């Protein structure tokens, strides 16, 4: 009787150990790990496509040719450049030598000149506003860099005949005793230097009205120049209208 009870206990212990052994052999489910919510890192801002600004890129750009300048414009610029250089100081003079620096221009198919120290600039013919009741040699007024300037037709002022042709009429801007005046001429020549020793008095055949305003005459290359007497011309009663 006792043996049966012992045998029952053994059987229960055995079955229990078997059950525990089976459970130990079963694979355990992996423990769930707590995962933290991962915030997506902000995407870096997209950089715009780089534009090649180097010399190669410049070569790729189609270059537009600048508008061609007229011959008259180029010539005026060259003359103005010479004027500036002359005013800054030209060639050294020999001892005792006196030289006049002149700007040449044409009137009635003859060559004239005036000292460049009076020249402020040269402009091409532009709009001139007529003023009623003034002499015919005063053409009117024009705007030069914001300043209203009287324009004098030098040919008419000197009582010269009308020109047969005036292909490149220009206005020489003159400044004398703080008064700015425009000299209308048929064309502008060039800058020249002439020794005072080579200047002769005006010819006796010149009309009195002209001789008063002519300082003298000189030969330049194959042409004769009549040099204006700016003091007499600008102080003339005819200029004070």
Instruction: Give the CATH number, domain containing residue 198.
Output: 2.40.50.180
Q: Inform me whether the pLDDT recorded for 54 exceeds 50.
A: no
pTM value?
A: 0.63
Q: Inform me whether the pLDDT recorded for 89 exceeds 50.
A: no
State the total domains in the chain.
1
| Domain with 164 in it | 71-87+98-239
Pairing between strand 119-124 and 170-176? antiparallel
The predicted pLDDT at position 56 comes to 45
Burial of 158 (0-12, 13-18, 19+ CB in 10 A): buried
The predicted pLDDT at position 223 comes to 86
CA distance 230 to 239: 12
Q: Which of 8-17, 27-36, 53-62, 105-114 has the lowest mean pLDDT?
A: 53-62
Share of the chain above pLDDT 70, in %: 56
Query: What integer is the mean pLDDT of 216-228?
Result: 90
Query: What integer is the mean pLDDT of 31-54?
Result: 47
Query: What integer is the mean pLDDT of 116-140?
Result: 94
pLDDT band with cut points at 50, 70 and 90 for residue 221: confident
Ramachandran region of residue 101, left (φ > 0), alpha (ψ -120 to 50) or beta? beta
pLDDT band with cut points at 50, 70 and 90 for residue 184: very high
Higher pLDDT, 10 or 84: 84
Pairing between strand 214-220 and 223-228? antiparallel
- Decide: 141 and 84 in contact? Cβ < 8 Å: no
178: in domain: yes
232: in domain: yes
1: in domain: no
Helix (H, G, I), strand (E, B) or coil at 104: strand
18: in domain: no
Enumerate long-range contacts of 209-214, CB under 8 Å, 24 or more apart.
209/158, 209/159, 210/158, 210/159, 210/160, 212/236, 213/157, 213/158
Strand partners, 200: 217
Q: Which of 112, 120, 114 is nearest to 187 (CA)?
A: 112
Q: Which of 10-24, 71-85, 155-169 has the lowest mean pLDDT?
A: 10-24
133: in domain: yes
63: in domain: no
37: in domain: no
Query: What integer is the mean pLDDT of 41-62?
Result: 44
- Decide: 165 and 194 in contact? Cβ < 8 Å: no
């Amino acid at each position: 009787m006792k043996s049966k009870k012992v045998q029952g206990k053994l059987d229960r212990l055995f079955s229990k150990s078997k059950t525990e052994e089976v459970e130990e052999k079963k694979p355990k489910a992996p423990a769930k790990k707590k995962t933290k919510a991962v915030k997506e890192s902000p995407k870096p801002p997209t950089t715009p496509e780089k534009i090649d600004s180097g010399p190669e890129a410049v070569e790729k750009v189609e270059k537009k040719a600048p508008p061609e300048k007229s011959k008259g414009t180029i010539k005026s610029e060259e003359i103005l450049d010479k004027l500036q250089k002359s005013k800054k100081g030209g060639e050294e003079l020999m001892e005792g030598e006196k030289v006049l620096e002149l700007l040449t221009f044409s009137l009635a198919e003859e060559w004239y000149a005036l000292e460049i120290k009076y020249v402020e600039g040269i402009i091409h013919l532009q709009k001139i506003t007529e003023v009623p009741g003034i002499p015919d040699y005063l053409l009117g007024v024009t705007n030069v860099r914001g300043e209203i300037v009287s324009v004098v037709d030098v040919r008419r002022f000197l009582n010269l005949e009308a020109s047969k042709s005036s292909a490149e009429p220009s206005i020489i801007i003159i400044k004398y005793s703080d008064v700015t005046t425009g000299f209308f001429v048929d064309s502008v020549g060039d800058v020249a230097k002439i020794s005072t020793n080579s200047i002769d008095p005006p010819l006796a055949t010149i009309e009195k009205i002209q001789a008063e305003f002519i300082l003298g005459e000189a030969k330049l290359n194959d042409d004769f120049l009549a040099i204006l007497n700016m003091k007499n011309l600008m102080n003339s009663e005819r200029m004070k209208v």
